[in-house]
Chains A and B, each alone.
Chain A
């Protein structure tokens, strides 16, 4: 069930690892009935709350996971990134913009 995939370098595979590092997020939740794409692409329309059952503790876990998987971005500010922690696609957009800003894409 992949709708609107991304192949922005290694961003999607690293985001996949970050999401799977959050308690309760499983490959089945991320991929639905479809097998994982070879390039680690993600369903960008997945909603964190409505589709992946995220709550506020899980959002904090995700922030920590993103900082681990994307160390070139440094410490992330929750108030700054929170508006983008809505869908997989909005997070990919956030990461891509920030990586470009630090010259990492």
Chain B
């Protein structure tokens, strides 16, 4: 079932993203997910946590379903974290399994440095996972790289003293122009876009979020902006933000490496060396990292 979302009006966005698809458990609907991948090369899939939560978190069968994640699952102390962890892994494996045509239990979920998940043996299908409250979101693409992030739309982000760590000076200036009651939701949108982009790049919070941004007042983000508001990326990047279930803001960033659906060429850089150096070390250092492959994302 396609969730009732605000329509995607930008034809370029429509080309690379299908509308988000809600899956309600192991029965899918997987045909819609496969159709989205087939037509667009990408899919954005979301679910309610309860729809994927096993009745018994102590079920010995979870060991086989979670694979190497089961050891971490057993060590977790926080019951909510445990529930989100197991539900999100089951949903991710079922979704990816539906796309690659393998049983979920046959897929091995592995992690790069910093926690970004990937499917061992299926690296041509890039995946990204996020969850918050009772929402789980999975992004999948054969085009290149994908990053997704979700937050409660009314999550308090202004007034925490963190805006200066989250925003470029251009974003702060633009946010200040908004009516006060619109600033928090605008910051939530900006944050999810930044998180999605940094996840797609493969850097996570290792990026300086003050060194890249988006237009706080643009309905559809078209490109990454440098701190002064000038363009920082080209048309190879696509972004989309939407609201699901009336309470969650989801953003997705997609880098089209020109792979089509072949999935070849994964050694290509995800971001230019100059921009990457600024994002990692700040504009004044002039430092240049050796590789764009390391990433530091809070484990999902």
Contact = CB atoms under 8 A, between A and B. Distances in A.
Interface of A: 23, 29, 32, 47-57, 59-61, 63-64, 78-79, 82-83
Contacts of A54: 298
Nearest to A48: B298
Interface of B: 72, 75-78, 80-81, 85, 132, 151, 155-157, 160-162, 165-166, 191, 195, 204-208, 280-281, 296-299
B205 A50 contact: no
Given A64-B162, A82-B205, 8 more contacts: A50-B77, A50-B85, A54-B298, A56-B205, A64-B161, A78-B165, A79-B207, A82-B206
A19 to B, nearest CB: 14
Contacts of B75: 47, 50
Contact of A78 (B81, B151, B157, B208): B208
Contacts of A83: 296
A79 B280 contact: yes
Given A50-B72, A64-B161, A78-B165, A59 B77 contact: no
A95 to B, nearest CB: 19
A51 B207 CA distance: 25
A11 B161 CA distance: 22
A31 to B, nearest CB: 12
Contacts of A47: 75-76
A78 B282 CA distance: 11
A22 B234 CA distance: 37
A51 B280 contact: no
Contacts of B85: 50
Given A56-B298, A61-B162, A79-B280, A50 B81 contact: yes
Nearest to B85: A50
A32 B78 CA distance: 10
Contacts of B77: 32, 50-51
A19 B242 CA distance: 32
Nearest to B76: A50
A56 B281 contact: no
B172 to A, nearest CB: 15
A79 B195 CA distance: 14
B295 to A, nearest CB: 10
A57 B188 CA distance: 10
Given A60-B165, A61-B162, A78-B165, A55 B298 contact: yes
Contacts of A63: 165
Contacts of A79: 205-208, 280-281, 296
Given A50-B81, A53-B78, A61-B162, A23 B280 contact: no
Contacts of A64: 160-162, 165
Contacts of B72: 50
B78 A50 contact: yes
26 contacts: A23-B156, A29-B78, A47-B75, A50-B72, A50-B76, A50-B77, A50-B78, A51-B78, A51-B81, A54-B298, A56-B205, A56-B298, A57-B155, A57-B157, A57-B160, A59-B205, A60-B162, A60-B166, A64-B162, A64-B165, A78-B205, A79-B206, A79-B208, A79-B281, A79-B296, A82-B205
A53 B81 contact: yes
A86 to B, nearest CB: 9
In the complex, the 9 A-B pairs of residues with the closest C-beta atoms, listed nearest first: A50-B76, A60-B162, A51-B77, A82-B296, A79-B206, A64-B161, A60-B165, A49-B299, A56-B298
A52 B78 contact: yes
